[in-house]
Chains A and B, each alone.
Chain A
Amino acid sequence: MSDFANIEVLSTVLQVVVLVVVIAKTNRLIINEKSFFLPFFFALAMASFFLSDVYWFVYDVLKPDTRMPIAANEFGECAMILLLSAGLETLLTDKKKVAGEIVYAVLYTAANIALWIVWTGEWLQDILFGIPYAYFLWVLIRGMRTREMMGRKELFMAMAMSIFVLINLSAVCFVDGIVREFVVQLCYVTMFTMMVWLGVKSFRRMDFFVTSTFFLWTNLAMFATPVPYYYVSFIGNTVALPLMLLSMKKELLTDKEIVAHDLC
């Protein structure tokens, strides 16, 4: 096994441990809380992610160096995105379908899918497992806008940065040499700047929509970065998991406060 493969196995094991802790903590929340739906679906989403990691690990051990044609771990990731979306959707107070948000979510995801197809050539999987991201992205944008977690300027900046990364990643398919290297590095700088920004915002706000956006961005960055940058995204992805748990816990506390206020 190469050093990079060892790091990948080690980081996956670390993520699995974090996931077990997150699932256990969520389970305690399910038992203690009256509002059952959100923690239950969060636990299911985390369980899917856990199974996805376990599948990847088992596959790597049982069938080393064999390509996964259409694998259950991709279904696990897809399940996690869909279950998280279903849970987050219940928190949306305003489900108004703004055309601009939907168009952005669909186009951005479609562009990502196109890039994944160019990189992997697995068009069926990329389309099938990419579609839930459009829905997830729409739910996140809607949630952040209704809760005013990001100002108008911040939202436009996030959009501009994500589109900038996407356009440049597409452009590098057509250029070569030093220009290519420069553009790629520029993409990584933008990508990780946004990751740090979202991470800091998640810590400060502790809002479920913001932490989920951080998680989504680390996920997309993982798909778009090669080793060793991949590991940075992977660590970000692992860090996002307990943040999501904490923000979900805060969400339940807020619900309780509202109920108490109503009773008074």
Chain B
Amino acid sequence: MIYAENVLICIAVPFTISLLFIKGTARWLTVCFLTGMVVCILSAYIAGFFEMTSGFSAEDTSIYLSPIVEEVMKLLSILFCMFIIEPSDDEIDLLAVGIGVGFATFENCCLILSSGETQLTYVFIRGAAVGVMHIVTLVALAKGMQLLKTYKVFSLAGVAGVLSLSVTVHGLYNLLVSKPGLPSYIGYVMPMVCAILLYMVNSESDQCIEK
């Protein structure tokens, strides 16, 4: 059996070594990528703990509990970075994308390795759906926090509101993909649609802030 910790070590060690030889934005992105992977494994531990204590089945945990745990963990990692390094708007984007990519990559690796041989189509759909979904929710979180910071209304209500929104998107995705057939197809398409919408909003908001 391949343990998730072993996968983490295999991927993380080369990246950690690479930090010695890279600088600037590349170094930041690598650190964020590693953070994303660590956040992913911690989320899995916490969700596993809740699954044991609540008595939920694995499917119910993925529908009800995982979105909450994962989004809270991702938000905490971004908030931690924001309070420690006080990043600019561009750096917040970098943090969000890096953590999101790290999180999605590690989750996909573990799933593919644990499920054994899988079809290429499934792997492709999984990558395009879950991979995109984690990035979308994190970028949305970061975008919300950027705006709160820009307009100097960085309040608990705003942050909690943006977090709840990302939990809802994640929860809806997990609910849709839990049933095979049409619901799962809609679920797989959903992150891509959200990514396109978010891209449009992102460029629009950048223009408005510049105004």
Residues of A within 8 A of B (CB): 30-31, 34, 36-37, 40-41, 44-45, 47-48, 51-52, 54-55, 58-59, 61-62, 69-73, 75-76, 78-83, 85-86, 89-90, 132, 135
Contact = CB atoms under 8 A, between A and B. Distances in A.
A34 to B, nearest CB: 6
Interface stretch (B83-91, B102-110, B146-154): B146-154
A167 to B, nearest CB: 29
Contact of B208 (A34, A45, A90): A34
A36 B183 contact: no
Contacts of B144: 44
21 contacts: A36-B208, A36-B209, A36-B211, A37-B153, A44-B144, A44-B161, A51-B169, A51-B172, A58-B183, A70-B64, A72-B172, A78-B161, A78-B164, A79-B161, A79-B165, A79-B168, A82-B158, A83-B161, A86-B153, A132-B160, A135-B157
A75 B147 CA distance: 21
B167 to A, nearest CB: 4
A85 B157 contact: yes
A31 B56 CA distance: 45
Contacts of B168: 48, 51-52, 55, 72-73, 75-76, 79
Interface of A: prevailing SS: helix
B18 interface: no
A86 B155 contact: yes
Interface stretch (B29-37, B124-132, B174-182): B174-182
Residue of B161, B162, B176, B204 most packed against chain A (CB within 10 A) = B161
A44 B204 contact: no
Contacts of B67: 72
A104 to B, nearest CB: 19
Given A52-B168, A86-B161, A69 B60 contact: yes
B61 to A, nearest CB: 10
B171 interface: yes
Interface string B43-66: 000000000000010001000110
Given A72-B170, A86-B158, 5 more contacts: A30-B208, A36-B205, A37-B153, A62-B176, A78-B160
A52 B167 CA distance: 11
Given A36-B209, A71-B64, A82-B160, A89 B155 contact: yes
A112 to B, nearest CB: 18
Contacts of A76: 164-165, 168
B204 A31 contact: yes
Contacts of A85: 157, 161
Please provide the 10 A-B residue pairs with the shortest distance between their CB atoms, ordered closest to farther: A72-B171, A82-B161, A79-B164, A83-B161, A86-B158, A76-B168, A36-B208, A79-B165, A75-B167, A75-B164
B158 A83 contact: yes
A61 B148 CA distance: 37
B171 A55 contact: yes
A85 B183 CA distance: 33
Nearest to B151: A37
A69 B64 contact: yes
Contacts of A75: 68, 164-165, 167-168, 171
A61 B172 CA distance: 13
Interface in B170-211: 170-172, 175-176, 178-179, 183, 204-205, 208-209, 211
Contact of B205 (A40, A61, A69, A81): A40
A47 B164 CA distance: 12
A45 B162 CA distance: 9
B147 A40 contact: yes
A43 to B, nearest CB: 9
